[in-house]
């Protein structure tokens, strides 16, 4: 499987994972995803399959509502590299725009109707 590497904008948060070749993404229309506008991975990763390295105090987490989903972001540059999902608690989706060399805006994506949950 290909190895993917990515980071937030300032580089304080870096991550790596292996996954089948990424050919599509996922968007969601819930209250937070529509504000972020990111194209996320259609697959999820177990915490043990995502290697995260972050400088001290850079990795911040936003929660709301049920507090099941964890929206992680960089406290320095504000970029949101991944989150832990509502539907599969604990598992991560990756912001495809944060992956090195990936043109996430050219990928097809499905829209998940998170607004109706």
Among 76, 85, 91, 102, binds Zn ion (CB under 5 A): 76
Q: What is the SS3 assignment for the chain?
A: CCEEEEECCCCCEEEEEECCCCCCEEEECCCCHHHHCCCEECCCECHHHCEEEECCCCEEEECCCCCCCEEEEECCCCCCCEEECCCCCCCEEEEHHHECCCCHHHCCEEEECHHHC
Piece of the chain touching Zn ion by CB under 5 A; list 9-17, 20-28, 85-93, 96-104: 9-17
Piece of the chain touching Zn ion by CB under 5 A; list 17-25, 71-79, 89-97, 108-116: 71-79
Q: For Zn ion, give the closer residue by CB, 12 or 45.
A: 12
Q: Does 10 bind Zn ion (CB under 5 A)?
A: yes
Residues that bind Zn ion (CB under 5 A): 8, 10, 12, 74, 76-77
């Amino acid at each position: 499987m290909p190895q993917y590497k990515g980071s937030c904008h300032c580089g304080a948060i870096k991550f790596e994972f292996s996954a089948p070749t990424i050919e599509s993404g996922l968007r969601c229309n819930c209250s937070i995803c529509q504000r972020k506008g990111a194209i996320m991975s259609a697959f999820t990763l177990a915490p043990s399959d995502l290697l995260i390295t972050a400088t001290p105090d850079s990795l911040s987490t936003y929660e709301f509502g049920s507090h099941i989903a964890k929206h992680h972001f960089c406290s320095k540059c504000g970029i949101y590299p991944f989150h832990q999902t509502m539907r599969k608690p604990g598992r991560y989706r990756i912001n495809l725009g944060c992956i090195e060399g990936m043109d996430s805006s050219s990928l097809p994506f499905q829209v998940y109707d998170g607004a109706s949950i």
